[in-house]
Structure 1
Amino acid sequence: MEMDHRPRKACDLCYTRKLKCNGQQPRCSNCIVYARECTHTVQSRKSKPKTRCNGGNNTTRADEVQNLRARVQELETQLTQNPIKDNSHQSAGNHNNAGSSMILPPLQQALPMIEMFLNKLNSVLPLFHAGTFLRLVGECYSRTPRQRDPVAWAAINVVLALTCQQISSPDGDGDIGARADHTTEYLNRAQSVISDVMLGETRLLNIQTLVGMVMVLQSAHDPTQALILIAATIRLAHKMGLQNRITSAHLDHEERRQHTHVFWLVYILDKDLSLRAQQPSIQLDDDIDLDLPHSLPADDESDGDAPGVIATADGNARMNYFLARVQLANIEGGVYDCIFSTRAAKRSPEERLAAANSVLEALEKWQAEIPSEFGGAAVITSITNDSTSLGLFCVLHSISLRCMTLINRAHAWNDEWLPIGWATLVHQARDFMILFERAWSAEIWFRWIVSCPYVSSMMVLVTNNLRNLLHHRIQLDSQLVDKALQWLKAGAEETQREDVRILRDICVDIVQRVERKRAAPILGVCPRILL
């Protein structure tokens, strides 16, 4: 193989192990850790031409994991020979001795969880660059709790929290309570150093850590914590200029991609939480000058391995989920502006109608661009045995349905609106209820994100049954409504919330009215008397 005689900064150890060399003299930090001589005798080789294959990204990630395992094994051997006298068993909440409390679970426990996060969730919503994060893990585990960077330690805990919360265990671990407890434990650890994350030196890692915290907190019934944290996150993102391509022009290609990915995740969370809470979002669309995810070069990756891309089980269809979420977040901003903003209240009826039609047109265009294989009910069979992706699509379609019902003001008694787009809304509501039923389990993390669209879907089907007692899907729709009522009953018993119980009673009453109206022709009774 032809040699390249250009000077190389990395020493032999760092070069052969693919570690980051700081060039420190007389020995770099990695040579000190591994107790090696710091030499520069191995010549650099010309890099191989880049190949575009489906498995390239997975192979690189596997190499990173293998290197990390080898590195940590050597470190563990050294630590065994030279034990460190340090009390690392203190609670993460001990703020009086924060340095010694920065403990982490054993690597053999943490690494499989990190791999699951990178392969399942991070590959769709790219919060971290896999190789960069694995190197961060290796560096953090190579230090004692007192020596660890608080922000890096918090980032690892956030990833562990996201894994426990949003990714089902491959061995089918059904201990729901333990998973929830572990999620809370890891999140509390990360939040114990939140002052370092928010007020320390502003780096991309700080923002990534905060974004991860918001991703965990967004699933709460009360989104207040997530709303407060996303506001602070956006301010730090603005401080770094993530919303503007000019501020990252001096960075290398991979760093620019990371900056762009993180900003769009911030944007998605901001618009999602804004519409759920009916509060103004922080990020203005006019202040953004960035490429959308699909416009970003993909390096060595093929379309199937590019960040954000999800493929069907047979590989015949794929879509960029990350891009779809960004575009839908933009529509969510339009829905808020059209319905809940102060400006909307000051518009004339004609202006409000024009704004609503504009947002509805954008939403319908977005829905039309989703491949049929990833539609509400179809996605159940197209991505079989992938509960993580199924949950992500359940969230996607719930947001779409929320936007549709809000923008159309889908109330059962609006006779002027019902004939216009009613059939489309009924179809989407039915598909979403089928998807929800398949994705639902007691351990899902997104229950409070999708519950309102689910109840709205039930009301749409009930209203449709009330309007048309003879439509050909009434049997299926009635079954879906019955299951939704059972779900509401269980929710009322679990939460002991009065508003949930009242909602269930109202829904039961409406369903009973529909059943009486359906029975009226058989009994020979006037339907109006029964209602």
Structure 2
Amino acid sequence: MEVAAHARRRKACDFCVSRKIKCDTLKPTCSNCRLYGVECRITNATNTSRRKAPAIPPPFDENTPAASASTPPDQVSAIEARLANIESQLAQLVRDKRPPSQSSSPQSGQNIPSLSFKNFPEAREYTALDMWNEGSTLPCIGFSPQPISDTVILTSGQLELPTLPELLPNVDNYFHNYNRYIPLFEQSTFMRMLLEWYSSPSRQAPVPWAAINVVLAISYRVIDDMPIDDPRLAQCIRNLHSATTHLMAWNQNFLGLQVLLGMVILFQGTTDPQLAIVLIGSSMRLIQSMGLPSRRGLVGLSSSEALQRCRIFWIAYVLDRDLALRSKAPYTQLDGELDLNPPPEDVEDGTGFVTSSTDSVRFNYFRARVDLAVIQGKAHDILYSRRAQKLSREQRLQNISRVEQMLLTWRTGIPAELLTAEGLYRRLSPIPIHLMMNMYNRHLECLFRIHSIFSFDQDWLNRVRCYLSPMVIELREDEVDGEVIHSGLTPLPRGWTECVEYCRLSLEILTSGKQTEYSIWLNACCTVSSLIVLLVNIIEFPDHEFIAVDQNLIDQTRGLFEQMNSKASEGRFFLLQVAQDLDRRARGQVNRMTQINNFSFLDA
């Protein structure tokens, strides 16, 4: 916790004071600031007002009367002079400790540095070893304890946006290509707010400003595949960080909540989704306090207002379940504590539907994501809840079978034409393809989890690494390796064949078209797990009918991640090295089987 020298006796940080909540004064970050993801500090007080500074109260003492006499003016002047001296010394100390490359201060209007993840510790670009270090308990997720940099705290007069003609094409891009499937905002309401912003400068406020920024950021990053350090996207992200406190406190309508959910969408597609996890927890608490999980809040609303209110809740519900399963952390919204109906099977405007451009195929994507989120919650319950740890093996297997059946029933609701990579790319535009790929990967992650073959689970990883032992596979110089020795290996899990099929589909969708950086990082954990599964399947069954297809998918996927790795870090993803070693064993087994078949042909 950063504390000004004059305020060391104060009991609460700035954020807790502004929210009028109790501060536990934990260092370096109090619990409330950690929860809301804001910087924990006590700001230097400078006399910017013409009024006399109020008296500085003595340290709190329960025996001291609540009211105290005012401090004499001469004492106030002495205190102010002392504060000015302390602030000058602190500023000098900061300059002395600043690295040489940062010694010069930015000019006015350029006081925020170009964006890189090191400027945002919660969403920093983790090195490969940070992200997928084999020693990490959650190698798919990086954690950062540092607070938000003070360079992104919102100040007066900082609510700047591009000109309206420059901004409108990006807003239209967002609503046409993304919001029609993930209806976070109601377009007419948003456009009215946008026009009011530009027509009434005196009424501009941080939360509508942040809403415009989050729409721009999603348009830049998710749709246009803009790199994270592009100045336009970087400025949007800085603006969103600076408005976080205002978003948490906004109670006029759902706009602050909608912006927070947009930030979750934005930050879950990075190398470190920890900020998304923090934000979704805060968002769900806001949702519960606003009564969104209950039908009672719909009383008296028009049909369009009620529909948008429900859509906001279900978007948050899906994000909550996605990130809970991804992080093995409890989800916030319990099914037993909501009574909303799921999204309708059909809507007049087609919002949430994926529609083919070549035939009549039509699919309610939004409803399917909500239905899958319910199953994700069930999978989380049987695997990671405290109650699940007390179940016998038989009870656990029964519960897993129920989830398997739920996933099977869910899959039958998807049109067969959209269950292949070729069908998706022939019928859909890029954004629906990316959304469908993400949905399939979330389904696949459920299968990975319940069958214990997720590549970030230590037991499965230990079994995979057994193939690298010379006691299991003898490597030979001619790359015609020895047969796999199974005596020390546990059997492959049940449902293996089904998982292999869906892993193949996942990599086919990934490699059949151009992917955005956002989409790659959003699906990275499932993609790498699918890669490992296909390699293990070749090692175990080196003569199966899809050998050539799978080897091509493996080569393309490894090449894609090697390219991404070279951009993100000088280190190497831990699992990429494992995949490379497995690939050598897989090719050795295919060569062995080819040699056996050739000898059999000659003998015949």
Q: Per-residue displacement from partner, 1:43-75 (whole Å, max 9, x unpaired)?
A: xxxxxxxxxxxxxxxxxxxxxxxxxxxxxxxxx
Q: Distance in 1 between the 2:221 and 2:595 partners?
A: 52
SS in 2 for 1:280: coil
Q: Distance in 2 between the 1:439 and 1:279 partners?
A: 33
Deviation for aligned residue 1:201: 2.4
Q: Distance in 1 between the 2:447 and 2:547 partners?
A: 22
Correspondence 1:185 to 2:235 = yes
Correspondence 1:444 to 2:517 = yes
Q: Please say if residues 207 and 256 of structure 2, whose CA atoms lie closer than 8 Å, have aligned partners that are also in contact.
A: yes
Correspondence 1:431 to 2:500 = no
Correspondence 1:512 to 2:584 = yes
Cα 1:276/1:440, change in 2 over 3 Å:
farther
Q: Please say if residues 127 and 262 of structure 1, whose CA atoms lie closer than 8 Å, have aligned partners that are also in contact.
A: yes
Cα 1:130/1:91, change in 2 over 3 Å:
farther
Superposition map of 1:20-419 within 5 A: 98-144=155-201, 146-168=202-224, 176-177=226-227, 180-295=230-345, 298=347, 301=348, 305-384=349-428, 386-410=429-453, 411=460, 416=491, 418=493
Cα 1:514/1:96, change in 2 over 3 Å:
closer
Q: Distance in 1 between the 2:327 and 2:153 partners?
A: 36
Aligned-partner residue type, residue 347 of structure 1 = L
Q: Per-residue displacement from partner, 1:370-424 (whole Å, max 9, x unpaired)?
A: 111222414433334x211121112111111111111122357786554x43332
Q: Distance in 1 between the 2:371 and 2:153 partners?
A: 45
Aligned-partner residue type, residue 108 of structure 1 = P
Correspondence 1:476 to 2:546 = no
Q: Which runs of 5+ in 2 are unaligned?
A: 1-107, 113-149, 454-459, 465-488, 598-604
Deviation for aligned residue 1:124: 0.3
Deviation for aligned residue 1:242: 0.6
Q: For 2:528, which of 448, 455, 458 is the aligned residue?
A: 455
Percent of aligned pairs with the same amino acid:
29
Q: Distance in 2 between the 1:340 and 1:491 partners?
A: 31
Aligned-partner residue type, residue 459 of structure 1 = I
SS in 2 for 1:370: coil
Cα 1:138/1:91, change in 2 over 3 Å:
farther
Aligned-partner residue type, residue 213 of structure 2 = N
Cα 1:520/1:121, change in 2 over 3 Å:
same
Cα 1:521/1:222, change in 2 over 3 Å:
closer
Cα 1:179/1:115, change in 2 over 3 Å:
farther
Q: Per-residue displacement from partner, 1:447-501 (whole Å, max 9, x unpaired)?
A: 2221111111112222222222222211111111122222333344333375x44
Deviation for aligned residue 1:329: 1.2
Q: Please say if residues 221 and 227 of structure 2, whose CA atoms lie closer than 8 Å, have aligned partners that are also in contact.
A: no
- Runs of 4 or more consecutive aligned structure 1 residues displaced over 4 Å after TM superposition: 88-97, 411-418, 521-525
Structure number with larger C-alpha Rg: 2
Q: Per-residue displacement from partner, 1:158-186 (whole Å, max 9, x unpaired)?
A: 11111101113xxxxx8x44774422311
Q: Distance in 2 between the 1:455 and 1:96 partners?
A: 37
Shifted more, 273-282 versus 506-515: the winner is 506-515
Cα 1:157/1:511, change in 2 over 3 Å:
same
Q: Distance in 2 between the 1:465 and 1:119 partners?
A: 43
Cα 1:109/1:151, change in 2 over 3 Å:
same
Q: Please say if residues 213 and 240 of structure 2, whose CA atoms lie closer than 8 Å, have aligned partners that are also in contact.
A: yes
Q: Which runs of 5+ in 1 are unaligned?
A: 1-87, 169-173, 526-531
Deviation for aligned residue 1:138: 0.8
TM-score (norm 2): 0.65
Q: Please say if residues 113 and 163 of structure 1, whose CA atoms lie closer than 8 Å, have aligned partners that are also in contact.
A: yes
Q: Please say if residues 294 and 340 of structure 2, whose CA atoms lie closer than 8 Å, have aligned partners that are also in contact.
A: yes
TM-score (norm 1): 0.74
Cα 1:492/1:94, change in 2 over 3 Å:
closer
Q: Distance in 2 between the 1:89 and 1:123 partners?
A: 36
Q: Structure with the greater relative contact order (CA < 8 A, sep ≥ 6): 1 or 2? A: 2
Count residues in correspondence.
421
Aligned-partner residue type, residue 207 of structure 1 = L
Deviation for aligned residue 1:251: 1.1
Q: Distance in 1 between the 2:421 and 2:496 partners?
A: 19
Q: What CA RMSD, in Å, does the superposition of the two structures yield over aligned residues?
A: 2.5
Q: Per-residue displacement from partner, 1:293-330 (whole Å, max 9, x unpaired)?
A: 1257x3xx2xxx32101101124101011111111111
Q: Please say if residues 165 and 180 of structure 1, whose CA atoms lie closer than 8 Å, have aligned partners that are also in contact.
A: no
Q: Distance in 2 between the 1:393 and 1:185 partners?
A: 30
